[in-house]
Each structure stands twice: as structure tokens, then as C-alpha cells.
Structure 1
Amino acid sequence: MFKTFQTYKLLFLRLIFIVLGIEISIYFFKINLIFTGFFGLFIVFLMVREMYFYVRNFVLLYDKTIASILQNDFTSDFSKHKFNKSYTDLFQLYDTMKSKQNEQVSKDIIYRSILNNIETGIIILKKKENDWDIFLMNDYFSSHFNVPKVSKWKYLRNQLPSLCEIIEEDNFQEIKTAVEIRINEQNMQTFVLQASRTEIFEKDYFIVLLDSIQNVVEKKEKDAWVNLMKVISHELLNSITPIRSICQNLQDLVEQDSLSAEDLEDVKNSVETMLRRSDHLQKFVEGYRKLAMLPSPKKEKIELQDLIDNCILIMNPLFKENQIEVINKISSKRWINVDSQQMEQVFINLFTNSINALKDTEEKQILISAEVKENRTFIKITDNGNGIEKEIENKIFLPFFTTRNEGAGIGLTLSKNIIEAHGGYISHKSEHQKTTFEICLFED
């Protein structure tokens, strides 16, 4: 504001000098000093000319700076004008906008680099009137689907009609499904399609993610193997490390010329410890074999209610000992095609899991229910125990993972393998101080 006032002040002073020059020149003409009068007018002419160029340069520089800001063009160099205090605020605005533009460009480059290095096909659409423009297409999408980086949705529709038809059928709304896409006349490939729509600064965007089923499965398998190797190496080291230490101690003892009674006692204790750790290691290996050598299920038609009643009868002594109320809501006859012995093992494992979860609960309760939907049978076992901590939710089905000192850590893993061998799945959720394990079995 102060700088603007100074600019106007300078212009006002120029006008005053010009008016004074004209008045003085007229005065010289009146007193017949013709030559002096013309000289005065010449000085006025120079002052007017200087003022014209001053205003013109100011307006041109102002217009050029504002145009650069509006067009995001920050390549201009105003260094020769920066010493003029009249332009301080203008150049400060320009430098601020230039700094923000450079920062935004840097962010865009980083974000695009990240998106281009992700092995997931990504396209982002931006709505323009009644059509969609392609705001961004990452390198993986372009190369994997052999699609050029087009700018219009209609061009992409010509390249990938099978994908675009699914999106258009849902009217560019949220989607989560599996799609089959043929690429370059190859065999059909299955992809996981996830799409979402969002509005940013009154602009409509539609984000599409495409992941190969094979990549998803490979990632899950890799994560599972990494977690499994962590557990196995942990268990092996827990047994091998003390055994090696004990062997080293025994070696030192036997190298002595004679053994005292205290040394013999040490030898005895060492051997007992080695046997105990060896037994633990043997059980661990047997548990692994049990998981790895699970036989194929021998399915037969049985009543679900009879299967549950039989499992409750087996577990009844433990239910009574722990004062647990078991509520079986399965009343109507439902036939399922399963291996009864393997499914008994699953329910016994889940009941055992619930018993341990209810140890610190006063009013202990286990609820069993089932329902049939869309040719699928859902069996739920719910307890009001401590629940599953958020930190271990994604680990409970890992082999040998357990939070109990006496647990082997294969119960839930074995249950999951059995259900998957039957063509179903098992899931869990904790809410309202209740934990539910749900088994889904598909009808054959």
C-alpha cells in the first residue's frame, strides 16, 4: 500500500512540474522572451515524454508480471527492475507465486514418479461437462494393457471396451469386482477392479485401480512365507540356542579328570533340559507335518445340528469346568456336504479358542448360529471374551502363532486349511466386546 502511494506521488509530482513548466513558458511569451519560452516548452516536452515512457513501462511491466502469474509462466527475468522500489510488492507477489509453483511442480513429479513405479494399473478421469477426460494414466497401465496415453475416455473405450463397459454400466460409481480382460488377442486375464469417485474443488474425479489376480496372490503368498519363516526360525532358535549352550557346558565337564557330585548333578539337569527342548522341537515339527500333510476331505451329507451337538458333547466337560453357557440357536435341519471328522476338529479348535478368550470374563457365553444365503451356509461362533487385539488381528491364522504359553499355534491355521480344502473360507471380527468366527461353506 505504501509502495503504491509512492508511485502515485511520483506521478503527481511529474504532473505538477509539467503544469509549472507550461505556466512559466506562457509567462516568458507574454514578456516577449520568445526564445526562453520555446526553451521552456522544449523542457516541458521532455518532461511529458519522460512521464509517458515511465507510465508505459510501468503498465507494461505490471501487465507482463500479472500475465506470467495467470499463465503459470515463471521464466521471465525481472532482476534489472528489482532495484526500483515502486515494483517491490509486485515482484514479491511474483516470487511467492513462482516458489509455490516450483513446489507444486516438484510434488507433481514425485507423485507421478511414485504412481509410475507402482505395479498396479491406475487411471484418473476428470469430468468435463458431460464427458470424461483422462487426467492421469500411469506407465504400468499403459504398458501392461498396451494402451497409448490417450486424453479422452472415448479413445480408451476403443482400446479396452471390456473394462470401459463395466465402468459405464455402473455410471462411473464406486466398483469393487473381478473383471476378465483380453490383451493383444491373448488368453483372458483376471484383474481386481476397484473404482471410486470423489469431488475436489468442485471438480469431479473418478479413480480406477486394476490389479492382476496373479500379483495379488503372489504378494499374499510371499507375505505368508515371510511370516512363516519368521515363526519357524524363532522356534528353532529358541530350542537350538539353549541346547548348544548346554552341550558346550557338558563338553567342558567331560574334559575334566574327575567329576564331583555337583558336576554330575549339572550333567543330569543339562540332559533333562535338552530332552525337554527336544520334545518341544519334535512337537513343533509334528505340528508342521500335520498342517502340510492334511488329507483331502471325504465329504458326506450330514446334518449341521447333529455335527454341532456332537462337538458340544465332546467339549461339555470343559464348558462346565469353566462355567460357560453355550447357546445353540441352530434348530432347523440343515444338510451340509463335509468331512465330519475334519469339521469336528474345526469346531473343537474354535470352541477351545473361545474358552481361552473367556478366562477373565464373569458371565461367560458362547453363541452358535447359522443361516443359508445364496447357496452358501454361514456358521457363526460368538463369544463375549476379551476379543482379539488390533495388533495381532492379521496374524491369528499364521502357523505356530500363539499368545498362550501352552499353545502350539496350529489350531486356527489347521481350521482355516480344512475350511479352504472344503472350498469355503473362515473369517473373524470383533465388535461390541464380542468376537465372532464365521465359516462359509458353498453348497455343491
Structure 2
Amino acid sequence: MTIRVRQRPRSRRTALRTGVPLVTLALAVAGCGASVTPGAATSSPRSTAATHGTGTPGTTGPVPSRTGTDVATTTVRTAPMSPAATCTDRFLSGMTTAQRVGQLFMGGVSAARPDQAQLRILRDNHVGSVMLTGRSSAGTAATRKIVDGFRGQADRVGGRQVGLMVATDQEGGRVQVLNGPGFSAMPSGLVQGSRPTTMLRAQAAVWALQLKRAGVDLNLAPVADVVPAELGTRNIPIGSFQREYGHTPDTVTSHTGAFAAGFAQSGVMTTLKHFPGLGQVIGNTDTTAGVVDSVTSATSPSLKPFQAGIQAGSPFVMVSSATYTKIDAKHLAAFSPTVIDQLLRGQLGFGGVVISDDLGNAVAVRSFSPAQRAVNFTGAGGDMILTVRPDIIPAMAQAIQTKMGQDASFRAKVDASVRRILDAKGKAGLLDCG
């Protein structure tokens, strides 16, 4: 989501193809943009096993000669079956269609006081992931109590629970959902980016432990967007809130890597966002329709933070809802096979979970019905649909099930997405594999 309130290459093309990270991480990455108003909060590495609950895997490197679909298919057909993969297969084979579709969703609920009606929608639709939204000052212990209160509604397959994945938006600065006793006041991304990477990694490990104590599995951060210095605060979604780690690809790459490495050290997944970058835009997709980037291309240096994070093992990448005219002028990035399958999966070699920016309340997608949003994102190669509005999940889920019954290739995409999501859950210890 945007907000509610990351070797030295011999050439640009070489940088994108090699993308050697400055920090080695076994990380999990995610993030979302959010629109924010002053004072308001906004909004693993290679995956190997996971499954379904109720309710946004790294790879070996880029494979420019194959499409994203080829990469995913090859991984499934040739990778040796590990114990984690066996666990994934067991859960996947035992799921009903409704349970599989439910795994494709992450529904938002209030971090301070979850709405019981919303939780029922998530449960009734087998939603497998929950995002804590808004702003809470309850602290770690109270948040853990809230999370434990709804974890029990996770689905069971073959008598074993498919754990809920719990996420939140904990970037720092103006974008920090969880506060109060036990949580540090995290500085903005720009401040984090001014610190030595060793310091940031150590601090991130502490912040991650705080989230872990609160029952959070996935942080929708770090922000991998590169905002040029000359654009600065005129960049509404990122720069105006100082969410960026810096103004150059090298700085953003090193500090997103340090942040993610610290989180991985403490066992909390992270999400690289907002692919292919919101650093060159003016408008905020959460509050504005028709946001366009006419600068970023498939070989832009600003993709380096994503490439490095992917090669380091990032399990989640969040895709933006802007349009990138030099990549695919006809589709929003979240609905673009060119962006997801060809660029992210094919060229950059990402094999993990592709999560959307908010497809529930964002103005950028308002001209599409909830059903169209879900089918378009999944059809383009996306895996997990993030919506801060649980009430539209039934329509989205029904549309996906209907499309599955009509289109075998679409049904195969869904199964591949569920497998990637279950793999990530298995890595996080959310699958009861016996």
C-alpha cells in the first residue's frame, strides 16, 4: 500500500542482472503504501512450505530467458521435495476449493479493536492472513492477547491447523501501526537511512522481536522505493512522509537489506515494497486515481533494491497500483502480467509471494469492481490480495472460484499461488506438520 497517514554494477543492465546485495539476509519482505494524514497511522527467504487459515521465497537468481510462468513451473517440476514441500503438498491436496481461495487473501482489521463482524467474514471465507490496521497504543502484551483471540479461527485440513499469518505496517516514523508499552518509537525511513547499516540491522532485530512478542509474523516493510532528491517531498506517497531510506539506489539497497536482515535474525518476515517503485510519482494511489510513472523502465537503477532483496531471499514483494508507461502503459502494475510475470518473476527471478497494495479502499482501483480487482490481480500472476475492507472479500472470492471453473490455466495459477503462500507459512512455523 502507499501510505495511509532498496557491487557496483558495470552498467545499468548488469546491475539488474547481478543485483548482489550489500547485506546477506534470510529475510521476508512486504510493505504497503498508505495514505496518511498528519498524526494518523497508515497503513524469507526462499519459501518452502505453507497452507491455509481463515480470515503481502526468494529464488536462485534472475532467469532472463524465461517468462515468470516458466520460472515458477520449472521450480515446481525440478526442485527436490524437501520436508517442508511435503508438508505443503499434504495441506494443499486436502484443501477444498473455498479453502484454497481463502489463502489468497489478507484482510484488514483494527489493531486496537478488531470488529467481530469483520472477523466472521474472514472466518466464513477461509481467509488465511490478517493485517492489523489503524493505530494502536495498547503495547505488545495487549496486542498479543488480541491476536491470540482470533488465531483460533484458522482453518483445519486433515485435522491440522493452517495458521493465520498476521501482518502489520511497521516502517517507522509516520507509518507505525503498533505503539505503546513494549514497542520502540521507530524513526522515519530517511532517518534510518542516515545510520550505519550495522546499527540499523541491530535496531531492526529489536523492533522485530517486539513484533514477534505481539504475535506478528510479517511486517509490510521495508520501503524499497528510491525518491530522487530533486523530487523530495513532492513525491506524495513516499517523500512527503520521509518513508524512503535515501535518494540513491545504493543507499536504499544497503539499508533495506540491513532492515530485512535484522528482521530475519529475529524470525519475522518482511516485504519489499512498492514494486516497481513509487519514487518517481507525484500522486498517492490510496487517494488518487490515474497515478503514472513515466520514468521507470525494466532496466532502471531504481530496481536495484528489489533485485538485491530478491537475491538475498525475500519471501514477499508488494506490487504498486500505479501505471508504468515504459513497462506496461495499458495496465496498473498490480494487474499487469508484464510487471509481475515478465519483470518481477522472469527478469528479476522472484519466486516468492507477490502481494498487492491495498485493493479494497484505494482510489487507484475504484473504477474496477471488487470481482475485477481480484481476477485481474490473480490472472496477472499475483498471489495474495490485500484489502483493508473485509466486506468485499466474499465478492472477490466468488469471482475467483467462478473463473477457476471456467479456465484451467487460471485454476493452475491459483494453485501455484496457494503453494507459494503455504511455503511462506511453513517457513514461519504456521503449519502444523506433525
Q: TM-score, normalised by structure 2?
A: 0.20
| Larger relative contact order (Cα-Cα within 8 Å, sequence gap ≥ 6) | 2
Q: TM-score, normalised by structure 1?
A: 0.20
Which has a greater percent of helix? 1
